[in-house]
Amino acid sequence: MRKILPLLTLIVLASCAGAQKDNKITHTQLDGEVDYVALKDLIFAEQTVLEINQIIEDSIKQRDPSWEHFATIEQSIKDDKSAAAIEQSLQALADSSLGSRQKLWLCNQLRALGHKASEEVVYGLILEVPQQNTLEYLAIYDDHGARYINYTGKVGVWEVPEDSAMNELIDKTLDQSKQYLEISNFLLPGRNKNPTYKVRFNFLTNQGIKQTSMTFEELDDPSNQLSNIFLSGAQVLMRIVEEMEKQ
């Protein structure tokens, strides 16, 4: 995984318990040696507890007490104690100090262990937007963090918990996402990684990623519920870009 570990704190862990928070927007320019596939997989939080434990450096885990949950769960799985691992994962999910991506990793592990959630919980939304023959990514999480990967390789990381205006924008976007999930019959399970000319909506839930897509022309229809989600996401993106340009 070329050069991905030094970026983990920036891209993934900024809002996790114990991580250093500057309470501001930060950004960086990625170079050609970065493993973009691995980077994008991390913002989608598709890994299980076992998988993410192999990625996160021990030095980061030692600074962050929340990773003790993951170590305990991994040991139970290695000891072939699935019931204990499920119970420990459910207890960890109740820890309010965990970030959205940590909770998604726990949910992924629970499903891998055969546990089915009774109610759907939305932890985030990722928009994939066609741009210059490639895709841009906007990730919005329910812990009020956000990530933006520009088609040029620039990455924006939003971690400003005291910004009430941005928090409201994120909450609005995710509330619209929840409402859409309640009524939609057109969602596909899992993540399609193929190139697309459509805007792709990835709803990050405890039951896995649920995905749909729509053309820009279709999103021009204001009566379309996905259009409202897209416009709210665009407001979040504009705020991130605005702050990035100030630096």
Amino acid at the residue 90: L
DSSP class per residue in 170-213: HHHHHHHHHHHHHH-S-PEES---S--SSEEEEEEETTEEEEEE
Prediction pTM value: 0.88
User: Measured between alpha carbons, how far is 181 from 200 in angstroms, rounded to an integer?
Assistant: 15
Find, among 16, 14, 33, the residue nearest to 147 by Cα. 14
pLDDT, residue 79, reads 97
- Burial class of 194 by CB neighbour count within 10 A (0 to 12, 13 to 18, 19+): exposed
User: Which pair of structure tokens corresponds to residue 21?
Assistant: 């928070």
User: Measured between alpha carbons, how far is 153 from 115 in angstroms, rounded to an integer?
Assistant: 38
Residue that has been written with the tokens 């697309």 in this structure: 196
- Which of the residues in the chain have pLDDT under 70? 1-37
pLDDT, residue 6, reads 39
